[in-house]
Chain A
């Protein structure tokens, strides 16, 4: 047994436990210190992942796969976690009562995501998925004194557990039809039986829920609105990326269903997700709800890359996940800062933000432009990679829908930008930005702009990771 394959996960589990013990022995007045400890630990984890590139092997009877693809995905999760902790520290500290578990739960959710990216069989995948989801149930309901947060937590729990049960039933059927839980030993395409097909359809439905693809998206606007904003950011970014990481493992690593069949399912999902997500985002008046629908639409774009099912498509998925993570957390960081200052998450309170805090205003604008896919921001390159992968196969209509819907999305993204730059502020008092938040938004800004101009820095890495996924 080669424990080096597990080194990131062992370090994460240890780190989570140590953090829990620290929070027990330090008492409730030492919250600030814990936030810093969390940041330091996450940075160490990020460094560890860099040593794992190029290992490309599996272990533990095939239940664990560590290829560059898994490492890249883990970095997406860790970077999202670091940005969220930087941006959310003060927000969390504003909560009444105990905040120590917040960091602990975030680390354990991270552990679950890492397992999802590396899972080589259904059991590992399921346990990792639940590690992540159960941590998120508690995180979403973290602000227990607020009725909204507790309600969002219960709703997420009921719907999440329901989707887990559907995934699980699908897994049991896949296991029954294939006689194994290992993705690598799933039977070849030609012998796919109806049972396997039914199992795979249930898996698509369950994972569709986790990544909030239409028509399984109904939960996400409610949960995003009710959850504490840092949790919303982490949920929208990392949990969605983890869902995609697992989906790729199941459907491209094992191909339990004939490509023609499942291409159809994924294509329909991608198309209606892009259309509904973007159209419903337009009339929203709350920024968190608007970003919720926008992230539904983003899931639709990423599904197009999944549909391509080749290294170019996976490359698009990986690149876009990273870009989306940074830009979305950047946008949510600004929402956190404004929400702390004004106590509201309506789009209207962003009026005249550039007079109150130019840094936040520019970060918000850049991140939204990146999400809309306007050059020279990084989001444009990501969308280009996703859509060109499918167009190279001679299939044009998903790219066409994606293009039209991106144009529509510009409308609601720019509406926020317009409010920020054109409207007069109701309350001209400047908004204070503390150091952690400043660091988070600056990082998001820098990454989004730099990768938009020099995408090769990241796309070389993601292309290598995508090739490793197919064993090239």
Chain B
């Protein structure tokens, strides 16, 4: 079994050597002049402004939380959708109830002004 993986190992080895070789060639052939310009971070040609570590507004965080919760609920929707044809009316009503409960949660988040940009 392990023998079959030998090809993969060989491939990984070659794959590792090629970029190293390219780096080596460019290191050997290139001219080396250090200017302060070269030390700057590259931001589409513009000069960089401000600190690298910026704080995101915690407003993002509430969106993210709400997103995560509702996003994960779709885990239940996939198996339901795959088997929808065989499940019949009962499962459909069940899913409607499930979504209704989620909507109440959504309404609550709305009323609590989670979606308002502060």
Contact = CB atoms under 8 A, between A and B. Distances in A.
A312 B110 CA distance: 52
Interface stretch (B4-12, B54-62, B100-108): B100-108
B111 interface: yes
Contacts of A17: 101, 104
A25 to B, nearest CB: 9
A20 B101 CA distance: 11
Interface residues of B, number: 5
A94 to B, nearest CB: 21
A24 B101 contact: no
Interface residues of A, number: 4
A17 B108 CA distance: 11
Nearest to B105: A20
A61 to B, nearest CB: 15
A280 interface: no
Interface string A9-21: 0000000010011
Nearest to B112: A98
A21 B101 CA distance: 11
A17 B111 CA distance: 15
B87 to A, nearest CB: 13
Contacts of B101: 17
Interface in A1-49: 17, 20-21, 24
A22 to B, nearest CB: 11
A217 to B, nearest CB: 32
A124 to B, nearest CB: 16
A17 B104 CA distance: 8
A20 B104 CA distance: 8
A21 B103 CA distance: 11
A21 B107 CA distance: 9
Nearest to A101: B108
A469 B113 CA distance: 48
Nearest to A17: B104
Interface in B66-118: 101, 104, 107-108, 111
9 contacts: A17-B101, A17-B104, A20-B104, A20-B108, A21-B104, A21-B107, A24-B107, A24-B108, A24-B111
Interface of B: 101, 104, 107-108, 111
* Top 9 A-B residue pairs of the complex, sorted by shortest distance between their CB atoms: A24-B111, A17-B104, A20-B104, A20-B108, A24-B108, A24-B107, A21-B104, A17-B101, A21-B107
Given A17-B104, A24-B107, A24-B108, 6 more contacts: A17-B101, A20-B104, A20-B108, A21-B104, A21-B107, A24-B111
